[in-house]
């Protein structure tokens, strides 16, 4: 009798798991359940609709360092299907890719739908049955000593030899990532770690930085006041509500479980010139005061920061931006250096970022990292955001999903042999 595998969730991990099974064993019947009317909705909107497929970083150890949670757990999956192999896989299936200067990889078409089209074409020619608009209500083993699983969907009960849970997290609920898989996992004895949002933008209480929306910086250093080890360096952009951008997303992953609200703000330090020391900035400032005494202060600061931000910083410090450098006291120079190296802003909330993933999930201690199989329920496999694995922005979360889905497929086939 033909073996059957149920894959619950048609996102990145689920699609890759189904594709890998189809490639390895055409005799296995795969049923892919997806509650949406189409596959890969979150995949398509990722990267601003262009789909940041993976990262261009080739060093697997360097790739693993980009995960706030789950980097050690992902070791086997990542070496088994690293970014270079993912790149080759998609190009081999007819989607030309490109690596941009920041090492993000996209389809040359800049259309995320092309990535999902790969799987739709592959499934049409393989032994994969798509159950779109099909909500799974319950997953259970068929008995105390059973080696098969029962899937209840749309009032229908079906028996499967193995199950791969790829239901995602609970971010982007409009794409179907509503956390259903957590209850399925718990019903079979698994534990769910605390959940929080990650890769989000920051809402700030500080009016001075919110008054320059659209102003961007290519390289700043952000540090959390509650834990100075939580820091990130890179680009940010000011918004009407606070700050966003890659450095913000990276820090948000590190402080995903921090509590910050209007009543309990979290202070973040901004180093606007992370590649210059306080002493070097002070030396430049002192030299300018001596050589160009009539030069206005704002013109000096414009060498480092945009005019609009300089105006806001000096206004909050109650310093006349047109003051001649000759009148700039040493104490004020010290204050300005401190502001350039350690501006303080106060986080009061989270808002959606370009990816916005869930931190936390199924406890990876309960999953075999070499197969993605449950250590509690044989024949049950996990892949994707449902697990307690999340990375920073830049293609790392999709890479983790491709790699885990690929390995889970191989593990499921091995289980059925």
Do 368 and 336 sit in the same domain of this protein?
Answer: no
Number of H helices, E strands in the chain: 14, 23
Q: Is the pLDDT of residue 173 over 60?
A: no
Do 30 and 149 sit in the same domain of this protein?
Answer: yes
Do 171 and 214 sit in the same domain of this protein?
Answer: no
Q: Is the pLDDT of residue 176 over 70?
A: no
Do 219 and 274 sit in the same domain of this protein?
Answer: yes
State pLDDT tens for residues 145-170. 667 899 999 878 999 999 999 999 87
Got the DSSP string for 16-62? HHHHHHHHH-TTSEEEEEESSSSS-HHHHHGGGGT---EE----HHH
What's the average model confidence in pLDDT over 321-348?
A: 95
Q: Is the pLDDT of residue 355 over 60?
A: no
Closest CA to 253 of 350, 366, 167: 350
- Return the percentage of the chain with pLDDT > 90, whole number: 88
State pLDDT tens for residues 44-77. 988 888 999 999 999 999 999 999 999 999 999 9
State pLDDT tens for residues 234-275. 999 999 999 999 999 999 999 999 999 999 999 999 999 999
Do 227 and 333 sit in the same domain of this protein?
Answer: yes
Torsion of CA 261, 262, 264, 267, to 10 degrees: 90
Do 254 and 333 sit in the same domain of this protein?
Answer: yes
d(CA 31, CA 6): 5
For residue 263 the two structure tokens come to 């009543």
Residue 296 DSSP symbol = B
Note the pLDDT of residue 174: 41
Do 88 and 115 sit in the same domain of this protein?
Answer: yes
The range of the structural domain enclosing residue 265 comes to 200-354
What's the average model confidence in pLDDT over 386-394?
A: 94
Do 189 and 336 sit in the same domain of this protein?
Answer: no
Burial class (CB in 10 A: 0-12, 13-18, 19+), 156: exposed
Q: Is the pLDDT of residue 352 over 90?
A: no
Q: Is the pLDDT of residue 95 over 50?
A: yes
| Total-model pTM | 0.89
Do 206 and 190 sit in the same domain of this protein?
Answer: no
Do 19 and 103 sit in the same domain of this protein?
Answer: yes
Buried b (16+ CB within 10 A) or exposed e, 65-79: ebbbbbbebbebbbe
What's the average model confidence in pLDDT over 162-183?
A: 75
Who wins on pLDDT, 377 or 356?
Answer: 377
Note the pLDDT of residue 171: 55
End position of a domain, from candidates 331, 354, 377 = 354
Q: What is the number of structural domains in the chain?
A: 2
Do 214 and 302 sit in the same domain of this protein?
Answer: yes
For residue 133 the two structure tokens come to 């608009």
End position of a domain, from candidates 320, 354, 388 = 354
Note the pLDDT of residue 12: 97
CATH of residue 102's domain is: 3.50.50.60
End position of a domain, from candidates 354, 372, 391 = 354
Q: Is the pLDDT of residue 177 over 60?
A: no
Place of tokens 């189809």: 22
Do 369 and 332 sit in the same domain of this protein?
Answer: no
């Amino acid at each position: 009798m033909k073996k059957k595998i149920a894959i619950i969730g048609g996102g990145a991990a689920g699609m890759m798991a189904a594709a890998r099974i189809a490639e390895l064993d055409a005799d296995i019947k795969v049923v892919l359940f997806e509650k949406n009317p189409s596959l890969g909705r979150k995949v398509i909107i990722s990267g601003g609709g262009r789909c940041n497929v993976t990262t261009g970083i080739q060093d697997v150890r360097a790739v693993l360092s980009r995960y706030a949670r789950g980097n050690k757990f992902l070791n086997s999956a990542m070496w088994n299907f690293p970014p270079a192999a993912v790149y080759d896989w998609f190009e081999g299936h007819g989607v030309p890719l490109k690596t941009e200067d920041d090492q993000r990889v996209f389809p040359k078409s800049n259309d995320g739908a092309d990535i999902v089209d790969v799987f739709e074409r592959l499934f049409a020619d393989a032994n994969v049955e798509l159950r779109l608009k099909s909500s799974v209500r319950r997953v259970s083993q068929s008995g105390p000593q059973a080696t098969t699983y029962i899937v209840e969907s749309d009032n229908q009960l079906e028996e499967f030899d193995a199950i791969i849970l790829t239901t995602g997290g609970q971010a982007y609920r409009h794409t179907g990532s509503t956390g259903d898989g957590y209850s399925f996992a718990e019903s079979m004895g698994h534990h769910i770690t605390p959940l929080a949002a990650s890769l989000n933008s920051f809402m700030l209480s500080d009016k001075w930085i919110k008054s320059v929306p659209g102003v961007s910086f290519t390289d700043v250093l952000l540090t959390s006041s509650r834990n100075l080890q939580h820091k990130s360096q890179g680009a940010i952009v000011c918004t009407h509500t606070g700050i966003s951008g890659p450095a913000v997303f990276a820090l948000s992953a590190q402080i995903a479980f921090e509590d910050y609200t209007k009543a309990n703000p979290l202070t973040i330090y901004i180093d606007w010139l992370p590649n210059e020391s306080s002493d070097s900035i002070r030396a430049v400032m002192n030299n300018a005061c001596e050589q160009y005494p009539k030069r206005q202060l704002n013109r000096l600061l414009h060498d480092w920061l945009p005019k609009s931000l300089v105006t806001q910083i000096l206004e909050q410090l109650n310093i006349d931006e047109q003051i001649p450098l000759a009148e700039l006291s040493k104490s004020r120079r010290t204050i300005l250096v401190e502001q350039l190296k350690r501006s303080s802003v106060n986080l009061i909330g989270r808002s959606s970022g370009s990816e916005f993933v869930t931190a936390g999930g199924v406890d990876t201690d309960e999953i075999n990292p070499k197969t993605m199989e449950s250590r509690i329920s044989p024949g049950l496999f996990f892949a994707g955001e449902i697990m307690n694995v999340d990375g920073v922005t830049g293609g790392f979360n999709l890479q983790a999903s491709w790699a885990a889905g690929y390995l889970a497929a191989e593990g499921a086939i091995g289980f059925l042999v």
